[in-house]
Chain A
Amino acid sequence: MSSKRKVLLMGKSGSGKTSMRSIIFANYIARDCSRLGPTIEVEHAHVKFLGNMVLHLWDCGGQESFMENFLVSQKDQIFKNVQVLIYVFDVESREFEKDLRYYQSCLEALLQNSPNAQVFCLIHKMDLIEEDKREETFKRREAEVLRYSELAATPLLNERQNAVCQCFKSSIWDETLYKAWSAIVYHLVPNVGTMEDKLKKFGAILDADEVILFERATFLVIAHAVLREHKDPHRFEKVSNIIKQFKLSCTKMGSKLDSIQVRNSQFSAFIDSFTQNTYVMIVVPDGNASAPMITMNVKNARKVFEAIETKP
């Protein structure tokens, strides 16, 4: 498997592609994104992810003139050898129909040139919708997106396995952005199955409730093992968001985050730097769990996980 992945980031102008890219991969915080100007043509970004994997992000400007160009004269160049297409919709867009048509054209072009690419759609800027209407709006938009995906795929009925896309709602102001990207990344990482297996075993040895593996630079969730169900389904993304912010403030002070311990009477949580490319988080249902013991076990497990990561 090639370790270089081409990821296309597309969507209408001003929908937030560059903003989310900056937050996830370039250590921006949401506030800073107002400074970003519109993207001209295509901005390339090479992002190292999990050490040996390079994400080659093509951030495609969303203004109509560029879009036309991509779909006509630069079609081959843009849509060849793509592993992932991430299409961003602005939930507040006045011309959602038009966005969908562009999406359909992009998808058609993609299907012709890279029939094995995966497609993810983000319904972005969800924070602009009132809280109680979010779910409903998202459902409606998702249905429409899926309908258009079908439309794009019908002419290529035999090889349409990738037209089935996944939709996520997202917003740069809360944890949903991390949720969406974690899901995307999850599809990109090889050996996820093995890692989850080992995490589960590791968790069982530690009597942990939960063990989670984060990518070091982005703090996206790569793999997790749940040994006891937890009632909050958004907890991973919340943790990602909080720790990333904290890590940034550490960097400002010129120091590096190594580990964090949180405990109360009911649980202890440990976040520890793990392999070269990951942090691990362990949640133990015992407020008096011995930290040195956990640290030692983490150190012992490190070798196993390093071996899984470097496996080609």
Chain B
Amino acid sequence: MLKQKALGEVLGQVNTSGVDGAWLFNKEGLCMAFVGTASKTVPPNVSSALLASVWTALERRANDLKETILVLEDGVIAFTVVARSMLLAVRANKKTEVGMVRAKLHTVAAYLEQPIMSLANDQG
């Protein structure tokens, strides 16, 4: 089982010093949770669907894709895979150093790895 509230608390911890959003979604792009300031034009479920499709497109070209960093006009989005089935994404404004964003991303990913893995095993 995945607890909405607990997951929200974990994801919320990255939202400091320039980082203002974190998603957890599966590879089909279905958003499990989003914590942060939601964009007015693109709701979190849409952005997670977009990110998932970016991920699958890249994965088709590169085997064993570990992480992706999108540097955009007004910010950075970094995302990585957790427990083979889920994707974790972190968004930051453009003043934030990419190294910081990566470090945060991987810390949360490592923290979530075990619990989500056991979740996938439950489903059998």
Residues of A within 8 A of B (CB): 202, 205-207, 286, 289-293, 296-297, 299-301, 303
Contact A293 B5 (CB under 8 A): no
List the count of A-B residue pairs having beta carbons below 8 Å apart: 40
Contact B26 A290 (CB under 8 A): no
Once bound together, how far apart are the Cα atoms of A207 and B1, in whole Å?
Answer: 12
Once bound together, how far apart are the Cα atoms of A206 and B3, in whole Å?
Answer: 6
Return B46 CB to nearest CB of chain A, in Å: 14
Residues in B8-52 with C-beta less than 8 Å from chain A? 25-26, 30-33
Return A133 CB to nearest CB of chain B, in Å: 47
Once bound together, how far apart are the Cα atoms of A300 and B120, in whole Å?
Answer: 9
Residues of B within 8 A of A (CB): 1-5, 7, 25-26, 30-33, 119, 122-124
Once bound together, how far apart are the Cα atoms of A290 and B2, in whole Å?
Answer: 11
Complex contacts, A207 vs chain B, CB 8 Å: 3-5
Contact A300 B1 (CB under 8 A): yes
Q: Is the interface of A mostly helix, strand, loop or mixed?
A: helix
Once bound together, how far apart are the Cα atoms of A286 and B25, in whole Å?
Answer: 19
For B3, give its contact among A205, A291, A299 (CB under 8 Å). Answer: A205
Once bound together, how far apart are the Cα atoms of A296 and B4, in whole Å?
Answer: 11
For A300, give its contact among B25, B30, B122 (CB under 8 Å). Answer: B122
Once bound together, how far apart are the Cα atoms of A156 and B2, in whole Å?
Answer: 56
Contact A293 B123 (CB under 8 A): no
For B4, give its contact among A202, A290, A300 (CB under 8 Å). Answer: A290
Complex contacts, A296 vs chain B, CB 8 Å: 2, 32, 119, 123
